[in-house]
């Protein structure tokens, strides 16, 4: 299998916080959603793989090339969108387009103008006069116009309304239609990841809590509401975590199919990414 990103034992230590020993691989052509609460270390991880931050340890390879040896070539092939504008806001899209055409070998001016049209972005208006959503759409137009193979998004859809986000998700889906285009996307809006992610990586307190296929989460995890007596009957290995509620317990279970075989009438809800994240962070674990 070929990978867009391979990270081995990445560690970045700050005075009061560390991202520790993170390893992950993203197969080409897939979407990896990076989740974790505020301050978990997602941006530190993303900044490390972009060489914005220097890790203390670790190996990073992007599109099959070592980051530190081939940084310039790699940066031609990737695009990054943060939750803020990259460009001087006194500039107009027409000028930014000219500037980027000189920076990127693969710049496609027709694609750029088509995307601006599709997103209703005025070509000759200063970026500072755009709404937040327009600014983000402009970022996407710039990012996609140099035909990157690997798109890295750090909370870049979080400020957008549901209609804009849906349009962007559609664009991202098209982007990964072939096996050559890959996305790493950190987002607090886990319902967006439910729509497009193939893999979910969960960072908690600077550690990788898990990396799983979306299919695994969808097929094997579930949420049940039950009384204490029922909770005691479920095998401890199948309980990921539970929360006490006013009238009983909510339990995140794995091995859903096995549990359904034993408790035939049991109602098990699908677990969303948000459920999984909240139970792992806030739930209690059986002893
Ligand atoms: N340059 C820095 N110097 C010292 N500490 C830093 C620096 N950058 C980040 N940190 C610390 O690293 C921790 C993780 O921050 P990071 O931005 O990676 O988290 P995050 O998961 O992206 O959070 P959020 O979802 O809120 O954006 C925080 O405690 C932050 O204060």
Say yes or no to pLDDT of 21 above 60: yes
Alpha helices in the chain (DSSP H): 42-49, 71-77, 93-103, 109-118, 132-144, 162-175, 190-196, 214-220, 228-233, 256-262, 273-282
Q: Are the beta carbons of 43 and 63 closer than 8 angstroms?
A: no
Is 156 close to ligand 1, i.e. is its CB under 6 Å away?
A: no
Q: Indicate the pairing of strand 57-62 with strand 199-204.
A: unpaired
* Ligand 1 center–CA 232 separation, angstroms: 39
CATH number at residue 35: 3.40.50.300
Residues 52, 118: one domain? yes
Last residue of a domain, one of 176, 194, 213: 213
How far apart (Å, rounded) are the C-alpha atoms in residues 221 and 271? 6
Q: Distance from the CA of 39 to the center of ligand 1, in angstroms?
A: 5
- Residue 200 shares a structural domain with residue 236: no
Domain boundary (155, 186, 213) is at 213
Q: Is the CB of 34 under 6 A from ligand 1?
A: no
Mean pLDDT of the chain: 93
ipTM of the complex: 0.96
Is 206 close to ligand 1, i.e. is its CB under 6 Å away? no
Is 239 found in the same domain as 202? no
- Check whether residue 203 and residue 249 sit in a common domain: no
Shared domain check, 108 and 241: no
For ligand 1, whether the C-beta of 41 sits within 6 Å is yes
Closest-CA residue to 25 (of 43, 8, 5, 9): 5
Q: 203 and 233: one domain?
A: no
Domain boundary pick from 180, 213, 246: 213
Q: Is 10 helix (H, G, I), strand (E, B) or coil?
A: strand
User: Which of 11, 13, 14, 48, when mutated, tests ligand 1's pocket best, judged by the most ligand atoms within 8 Å of its CB?
Assistant: 14
As beta bridge partners, residue 27 has 3
Same domain, 225 and 201: no
Report whether residue 87 contacts ligand 1, using a CB cutoff of 6 Å. Answer: no
Same domain assignment for residues 243 and 162: no
Same-domain check for residues 116 and 134? yes
**168 and 186 part of one domain:** yes
Q: 3-class SS at 225? A: strand
Q: Please give the Cα distance from 141 to 168 (Å, whole number).
A: 11
Shared domain check, 226 and 202: no
* Domain span at 250: 221-285
Q: How confident is the model at residue 284 (pLDDT cuts 50, 70, 90)?
A: confident
Q: What are the φ and ψ backbone dihedral angles of 202, each rounded to 5 degrees? A: -115, 115
Looking at the structure, tell me whether residues 131 and 268 fall in a common domain: no
Q: Is 62 helix (H, G, I), strand (E, B) or coil?
A: strand
Residue 84's pLDDT band, with cuts at 50, 70 and 90, is confident
| Ligand 1: centre distance to CA 278 (Å) | 20
Q: How far is the CA of 164 from the centre of ligand 1 (A)?
A: 27
Q: How many domains does the chain have?
A: 2
Cβ(44) – ligand 1 distance below 6 Å: yes
Going from the Cα of 36 to the center of ligand 1, the distance in angstroms, rounded, reads 12
Question: What is the DSSP-derived secondary structure letter of residue 128?
Answer: G
pLDDT tens, residue by residue, 52-62: 999 999 999 99
Q: How many other C-beta atoms are found inside a 10 Å radius of the C-beta of residue 38?
A: 6
Q: What is the pLDDT of residues 179-237, one digit of tens each?
A: 899 999 999 889 999 999 999 999 999 999 999 999 999 999 999 999 988 888 888 89
The CA-based angle 110-115-121, given to 5 degrees, is 120
Residue 263: C-alpha distances to residues 87, 115, 245, 252 (Å): 57, 52, 22, 15
Q: DSSP 3-state assignment of 51?
A: coil
**Best mutation site among 19, 41, 50 for ligand 1 pocket (most ligand atoms within 8 Å of CB):** 41
Distance 277 CA to ligand 1 centre (A): 19
């Amino acid at each position: 299998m070929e990978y867009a990103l391979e990270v081995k034992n990445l560690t970045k230590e700050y005075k009061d916080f560390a991202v520790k020993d993170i390893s992950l691989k993203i197969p080409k052509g897939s979407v990896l959603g990076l989740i974790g609460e505020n301050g978990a270390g997602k941006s530190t991880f993303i900044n490390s793989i972009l060489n914005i931050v220097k890790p203390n340890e670790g190996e990073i390879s992007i599109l099959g090339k070592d980051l530190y040896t081939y940084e310039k070539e790699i940066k031609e092939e990737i695009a990054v969108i943060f939750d803020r504008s990259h460009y001087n806001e006194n500039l107009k899209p027409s000028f930014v387009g000219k500037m980027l055409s000189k920076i990127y070998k693969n710049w496609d001016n027709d694609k750029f103008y088509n995307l601006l049209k599709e997103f209703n972005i005025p070509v000759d208006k200063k970026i500072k006069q755009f709404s937040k959503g327009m600014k983000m759409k402009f970022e996407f137009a710039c990012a996609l116009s140099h035909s990157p193979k690997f798109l890295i998004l750090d909370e870049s859809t979080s400020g957008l309304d549901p209609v804009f986000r849906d349009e962007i998700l559609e664009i991202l889906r098209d982007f990964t239609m072939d096996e050559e285009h890959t996305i790493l996307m950190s987002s607090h809006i886990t319902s967006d990841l439910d729509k497009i992610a193939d893999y979910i990586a969960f960072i908690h307190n600077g550690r990788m809590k898990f990396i799983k296929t979306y299919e695994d989460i969808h097929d094997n995890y579930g949420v049940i509401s039950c009384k204490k007596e029922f909770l005691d009957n479920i095998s401890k290995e199948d309980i990921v975590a539970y929360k006490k509620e006013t009238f009983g317990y909510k339990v995140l279970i794995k091995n859903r199919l096995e549990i359904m075989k034993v408790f035939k009438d049991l109602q098990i809800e699908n677990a969303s990414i948000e459920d999984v994240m909240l139970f792992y962070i806030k739930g209690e674990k059986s002893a």
